Amino acid sequence: MPIQLTSQAYCKMLLHAAKYPHCAVSGLLVAEKTKEKKRDGHGDPVLCVDCVPLFHGTLALTPMLEVALTLIDTWCKENNYVMAGYYQANERTKDSRPNQVAEKVAARICENFSEAAIVMVDSSRLTISCVEPIVLIYDHHEHKWKSREVTCESFEDWSEAQKITSALLEGRSYENLIDFDNHLDDLRNDWTNPVINKSRGNICSVIARVKCRQREQQTEMDPSEVEFLAEKETVKIIPNFSLDKIYLIGGDLGPFNPGLPVDVPVWLALNLKQRQKCRIVPPEWMDVEKLEEMRELERKEDMFTPVPSPYYMELTKLLLNHASDNIPKADDIRTLVKDIWDTRIAKLRLSADSFISQQEAHAKLDNLTLMEINTIRSFLLDSLNCMYKLRSNLQPGSSKGQAMDY
């Protein structure tokens, strides 16, 4: 059966090699004993959940190896582990093949675990970024050690292993790594490496939170996506060229005749404007007097007033940025639209605060635009989830099984 490496086993091997780049290093791989029994020949891989760094420098000291194997064997039994492999990084960085020491120790492990493997660390490819696996795996077949291809499938989660190892190397965590040599120098040094384990666990928590946040953000729209939708709105242009009607997937456009207004999508209008092929006619609502009326009405009303376009903010930005010379009093219009936006966002935040403080389960808000909803969505969902969980915990006899996210 092939072996798989967890992020904990992989990162410790590389940290060991990084701590002693001028020496050969070695260690043992351990797997969970219960999982080894459950495979029953179905081809499931052996998952190496951890590793124990052994020596650096001289690897062939038999007496010290015997002491280490005895202590590690006892530790494995206490934790329901089994020694499942041996790893080594050679002193010469360009040499990544197992030597006699590696084969002899691995053969010793095979006596109690027939699926044991040798993992060789290719120190010549060791970098902080760790963008690709830098280990070679040798399986035991017909009394010979044969290498096999190492892919992402050789890891329980390669993405996690890469990120954790890179973070630990960048943080110089290898300085805290303890191998058996360090333990023999000072028995207070713990060769199970609880400090490294804790650092790895902290990074795992951060990665999990980032993944969770990314999943939440998948339901949100980026402002550029809303702007992309706004570009599909139509606007009038006055072309200065002639062209017959064109047939597009989104609909027919034209014909185009010099001096005659025609409706086109905003994206096409901006493209033609940049090529000096047309003049853009601003929408009817993009007028100083009308916008002043909208601003005063928005400030006066407690509820959200209807807006002339569901993309009024995005259209204003696009047209003023690319065709301000075609829009009278462009600066005044930019200021008025910004005032309307600020008033509506302030009103939206006040509504959200009131909604949350009153511990309501739902609310209805009319006349909101997509960009406005997108602005408040993340804050509102997080607040509702926290509020619901707090209320569930405060209610006597509340069941965790009833908890749900908004």
What per-residue confidence (pLDDT) applies to 1? 67
Q: Return the closest-CA partner of residue 54 out of 93, 12, 95.
A: 12
- 288: helix, strand or coil: helix
Q: Distance (Å, rounded) from C-alpha 322 to C-alpha 278? A: 12
What per-residue confidence (pLDDT) applies to 378? 72
Q: Quickly list DSSP for 156-181.
A: S-HHHHHHHHHHHHHTTGGGG---HH
pTM above 0.75, yes or no: no
Q: Distance (Å, rounded) from C-alpha 275 to C-alpha 100? A: 73
Residue 221: exposure state from Cβ atoms within 10 A (0-12, 13-18, ≥19): middle
Residues of the chain with pLDDT under 70: 1, 34-43, 213-222, 356, 359-363, 383-384, 387-406
Q: Which residue has the tokens 């007097």?
A: 289
The domains of the chain are located at: 3-34+44-214, 226-351
Q: Return the closest-CA partner of residue 313 out of 339, 282, 337.
A: 337
Domain 226-351 fold is Ribosomal Protein L9; domain 1 (3.40.5)
What per-residue confidence (pLDDT) applies to 19? 96
* Homologous superfamily of domain range 3-34+44-214: Cytidine Deaminase, domain 2 (3.40.140.10)
What per-residue confidence (pLDDT) applies to 251? 85
What per-residue confidence (pLDDT) applies to 400? 44
**333-367 pLDDT tens trace:** 999 999 999 999 999 888 877 776 776 656 677 89
Q: Which two tokens stand for residue 329?
A: 């009093």
Q: Distance (Å, rounded) from C-alpha 202 to C-alpha 183? A: 25
Q: Which residue has the tokens 């992402």?
A: 152
What per-residue confidence (pLDDT) applies to 357? 72
CA dihedral 122, 203, 192, 64 (to 10 degrees): 20
